[in-house]
Structure 1
Amino acid sequence: MDCMKEWLEPIIRVQSLSESGASSIPKRYVKPPAERPGQVISPNEGTHGSNVPVIDIRSLVNESNPSDEATLRAISQACRDWGFFQVVNHGVSAEMMATMRDSWNEFFRMPMAEKQRYANSPATFEGYGSRLGVQNGAILDWGDYFFLQLFPESIRCKEKWPTCSTTLCETTEKYGRELRNLCRILTQALSVTLGLEKTMLWRAFGEEEVGSSLRVNYYPKCPQPDLTLGLSAHSDPGGITVLLPDYRVLGLQVRRGDEWITVKPVADSFIVNIGDQIQVLSNAIYKSVEHRVTVNSVEERASIAFFFNPRGDLLIGPAKELVNNDRPPQYKFMTYNEYRLYMRKLGPCGKSHIETMKA
C-alpha cells in the first residue's frame, strides 16, 4: 500500500479519546522528555508577561496612507525580531470572525459518524483529519483538524466541503476571499519593507492563482497535558499564515531564543506569522519561527489557520534583488509542491524542513 495514498495505520480521533473519560493518554501521544511542554499554562493565563507585537494596519487596509512609514517599520521590526505579529483594524469584521468560529465549532460538535463522512487521506489531506505526517509509528499530536484547499478553486476537492451545515460552506468561502485580500495587503507591506517593488511577492506567489488553504484546529481536553502537545514545534512551510485564535483559551507558543512565549491574543485580532517560503524569497532577511500548541485538562480549544502560499508549480528561490556578493543566495530553487511533501511525509519537525533547501 502506498503511504501517500492511504493511511498505513488506523486513524483514531483525538476527540473520541478525550470523550472516553480515560485518565491517561495512549503511549502514541507521549512526547520525548525534551519535547514536553513542562509546566502547562492555565487555559486562561499565560506564563510570560511578553507578547508578540500588536500592529494597527488600518492605514494599509483603507489605503488612506498605503506608505505609512510607522506601520511598515513596525511590521519590518516584528518580522526581524519575532517572525510573528498581531494585526488589528485589519478590515475583517468581528461578526464575520465570530460566525466563522461558531460554524466550525458546530461541526466538531456533530456526531462522529457525520464527521467521518469527510475523513481525509494522505493524498491531499483535505477533509477531517487527526495526523499530519504519514510515517508508521510516529508520535502523534493531541488534536484533530479539518483542512480545505480554497484557492485556486480548480484544485478544490469539492466532496470534502461539508454539506451538513447550510451556512458553513458559504461562510468559509466568504471568509477565504477576505483573508486572501488581507494577505495581498500584507505581501505588499513585506515587499516594501524588504526594499522590493510593491507587488513583487504577490507576483512571485502567482498573482490571482496564488494558493490558499484553511485548517481548522480542534484540541480536545487532555488528561495528561504535561506529556503531549496539540501541535508539535514547527515552522509553517508556506508563505504567510493568518490565525484566527481562540481568545478564551491560550495555547499557542512561539519560540524566542531558548524560551517558549505564550501568545496572548488581543480581541478581534489576527495572529500573523512568516512561513518558510518568505524566508526563502527574502534570502533569510525574514525568518520563519518555530511555534507549537499546548493543551490542557480543563478546556477544549479551537483555532482557524489561513495559509497563503505560492502556486504549487512555481519555482521559489531568493529574490534576485536580495542577492549580492555580501549576501549570496542562501537557498536553492524548489516548487512549493515539492517542498510541502516534507510536511506530509514527516509531519511537524521544528526547522528541519527548510534545511533541505540550503544552497
Structure 2
Amino acid sequence: MDKLPAVGLLTPLDLNTVEAVPESHVWPHLDESSQKFESDKTVSIPVVDFNDDNVLELIGKACEEWGMFQLINHGIPKTLTAETEEVARCLFGLPQSQKMKTLNVPGTANGYCMARLTKHHDKMMWHEGFTIIGSPVDDFKKLWPSDYQPFCDKVEEYQLKMKALADKLISLIFKYLGISDEEMVKKLSYIDPATGKPHLALRLNSFPPCPEPSKVMGLAAHTDTSLFTMLHQARREGLQILNEKEGWLPLAPRRDALIINIGDFLQIISNGRFHSVPHRVMIRETEKTTMSMAYFFHPPGHLYVAPYCKPLSETLQTPIYRGVNVKEYFIIKAKASGKGIAALTI
C-alpha cells in the first residue's frame, strides 16, 4: 500500500461521530499484549524531585539509564495545568467545522492537525492534535471570535512557565555532560536570529472514545525530534515505552509529575550517552476523551548539531554520529520513515 500523503494535505476525520472504526484507521497485527493495561504489567520510570540537592546527578543518571524520567516539584502550578487542560478540552469539543478553520496547511506548523507521524505510516491514528508555536491569538480568533482572549492568556501563561522550566532543565543537562554555559549559549541559542521567534512548541493531543479500541493506535511508535519533551499526561494509561529485552511496557505516570523524555538531538549531542526512547500511545476502552499536553524544546533549524566529545577527557572519545544541520535532520528522518538516528551512525 502507498504511504499516505503529507499530513497537511489530509483532512482529519471527526472521530467523535464515527460508530465503527473505518478501514483507514484499522491497524493490522496489533499483538494482544499491546492492549493490556493491568497494573502488574506497568513500569515505573525514575522519579526526580526538582528540589533534591542531588538533582543534577539524578537527572543525568535517569537520562543515561532510561532516556526518560518523571519530574515532581517542577514549579508548574496545578491550577494552571488544569486550566490549560480545560482550554484544550473546550478546543477539541468544538464542532469539526469550527476546528477546520484552523487546519494546519503545508509549510506551516500551527493549528489543528493530525499526528505528524501519519506521513510515515499506511494507517491513520485515533488522535487529533493542535500545535501552538508562539502566540495562539490568530488561530484562537477563528475558534472563539468573540471571547478568544481568556483562552489565549491561559495558554501563553502556561507556555511561559514551561519555557522557564525548560531553560533550567537544559542548563542542568548540559552541565552533567560537561558543556559550559558559554558553549551552551553558542551551541543552542533557541532564538532564530533571522526571525526572533523561539523554537518551542506546545502540542495539545486528544484521544476520543473509540468503538473498537483494540483495532486502533493512538500514536504510533516514534522518537521525538527535539532536545527533550515535557509531557503532561492527563490519561493514566496508554503511554508505552520500548524496552530492548521485554518489548513494549505500559507506563503508570504520577499525576503530580511531568514526564521528561530525551529527544533525538540530545542523543546526538551526548554521543549516545542519552537515548531517545521509542514510545507510543495505545487506546483503551473508555467513554471519555483523554488528553495530553506535550511541550517540545528543540534547536532552531539553522543550527548544526554534533556529538560533544570532551577535548580534555582522560579517555579518548570518538563521535559515533556525524554532525547534522537541524533542518537537514528533519528531512533525513522523514526519508528514513522516522528512524533518523540510525542514518547518522558512523
After TM superposition, the score normalised by the length of structure 2 is 0.86
In structure 1, the partner of 2:116 is 132
Kept after mapping to 2: 8 A contact 1:103/1:167: no
In structure 2, the partner of 1:327 is 317
Segments of structure 2 that go 5 or more residues without pairing to the other structure are 193-197
Taking a change above 3 Å as real, the CA distance of residues 341 and 162 of structure 1, as seen in their structure-2 partners, is farther
Give SS of 2:41's match. Answer: coil
Alpha-carbon distance in 1 for matches of 2:98, 2:325: 36
Residue 137 of structure 1: how far off its partner (Å): 7.6
In structure 2, the partner of 1:63 is none
Residue 80 of structure 1: how far off its partner (Å): 1.3
CA RMSD of aligned residues (A): 2.7
1:1-359 equivalences under 5 Å are 7=9, 10-13=10-13, 16-22=14-20, 25-33=21-29, 36=31, 38-42=33-37, 46-58=39-51, 68=53, 70-133=54-117, 135=119, 138-150=122-134, 159-163=138-142, 164=144, 165-198=148-181, 200-201=183-184, 203-209=186-192, 211-246=199-234, 248-257=235-244, 258-298=246-286, 299-321=288-310, 326-342=316-332, 349=338, 352-359=339-346
Taking a change above 3 Å as real, the CA distance of residues 39 and 254 of structure 1, as seen in their structure-2 partners, is closer
Kept after mapping to 2: 8 A contact 1:132/1:344: no
CA-to-partner distance for each residue in 1:329-352, whole Å, 9 max, x for gaps?
Answer: 1222222222223566776x4xx1
Give SS of 1:310's match. Answer: coil
Taking a change above 3 Å as real, the CA distance of residues 53 and 295 of structure 1, as seen in their structure-2 partners, is same
Kept after mapping to 1: 8 A contact 2:118/2:124: no
> What is the percentage of aligned positions where both structures have the same residue?
26
Alpha-carbon distance in 1 for matches of 2:169, 2:115: 30
- Number of equivalenced pairs: 330
In structure 2, the partner of 1:62 is none
Taking a change above 3 Å as real, the CA distance of residues 285 and 266 of structure 1, as seen in their structure-2 partners, is same
Kept after mapping to 2: 8 A contact 1:127/1:161: no
Taking a change above 3 Å as real, the CA distance of residues 38 and 323 of structure 1, as seen in their structure-2 partners, is farther
Residue 303 of structure 1: how far off its partner (Å): 0.2
Segments of structure 1 that go 5 or more residues without pairing to the other structure are 60-67, 151-155
Kept after mapping to 1: 8 A contact 2:117/2:220: no
After TM superposition, the score normalised by the length of structure 1 is 0.83
Residue 220 of structure 1: how far off its partner (Å): 1.1
